Amino acid sequence: MTDPSLQPSRQPWRWAVIALAVGVLAVAFAYVGGWLTPQRLSSRQIVNQLQAGGVHPGFRRNHAKGVCVAGYFESNGSAATYSKASVFAPGRTPVVGRFALPGGNPYAPDSSVPIRSFALRFTLPNGEQWRTGMNSMPVFPVATPQAFYDQMVATQPDPATGKPDPKRAGAFFAAHPETGAFLAWVKTAKPSASYVTETYEALNAFYFVDADGKRHAVRWEVTPEANDDAGTGPQAGDPDYLAQDLQKRIAQGPLRWHLRVTLAEPGDPTNDATKAWPADRPSIDAGTLVIESEQAQDSGPCRDINYDPTVLPSGIEISDDPLLPARSSAYAVSYLRRTREEAHFPGAPTPSSEHPQ
């Protein structure tokens, strides 16, 4: 008996459906790769611009200067109502982190920028990971990857002067009024004398997903217990005072921050990191981050970690913020370049192939 599915009258339709499915996949891959839209901004263009001021083989293209830290997160269970992620169940989760400065120069003086960054990788008991990269500023300057790229181009230092062209930079900021909140902050921001006294903001919005599948728009930050010299200036003549300060403090005992999660209300933007949510939004103290050790980044445990903010456990999801997928893609390009470079931290072990940045 003949299989009806192989009868001539039906077989062409089967092949047509298969061809259509393959065609859709091909178009999708082509679009993601930028092949159909050569004018579309790519992660390679972003990373190329990040390294326009010079390449330091083996180092990250951004946040190149840093130090590894390790410890644990002690959850108090308060966030478990909003997220089913096991990291929020009461108990400890191991953490590997990295303090760093923005920029691609691993030898930059610590006083060169007023911003510090803090990246964390939580390794959950079930093998999942949560990775997050935070900065010590209240908002991001721009809302889209294209604007970020355009900002880098507009503020790139002129080789003749070593400084950005004020007309070019001014034209960019005039055309991007969303940068106003960041510019107002940076006018009074000063390089702090310690990584330890800073509050670090995730800036992008995410969703916590509870046990019933309900999503809650959130942002998070880590706030320090130490605040003795917050906002003070650098040590005179010392370009590397942050790492030295960190060593001294850890030698005296563990360092602590509180993980605070802010819950959005309807209408709060989840796709725009230039806009802070109102200060009266409810906040949860989810637990304590404890840092117990530090190590140089050339041999420390953070060296081969990609702090991709889209690596999330079940119970946390990305929002519609367009910066998140762009960060993920650019981090991957940065990682692949630095780990292929022969000068990658001479004498250090061969990088692992786990996740890129």
Q: Which residues are catalytic?
A: 63
- Sequence-distant (6+) residues with CB within 8 A of 112 are 101, 103, 191
Tokens read off for 286: 């989810």
Q: Is 53 exposed, middle or buried (0-12, 13-18, 19+ CB in 10 A)?
A: middle
H/E stretch holding 129: strand 129-135
Residues 211 and 349: their CA atoms lie apart, in Å, by 42
- Nearest CA to 233 out of 290, 294, 192 is that of 192
Torsion of CA 109, 110, 114, 115, to 10 degrees: 110
- Sequence-distant (6+) residues with CB within 8 A of 165 are 158
- 236-272: string of b/e by CB count within 10 Å (b at 16+)? eeeeebbbebbeebbeeeebbbbbbbbbbeeebbbeb
Q: Is 306 exposed, middle or buried (0-12, 13-18, 19+ CB in 10 A)?
A: buried
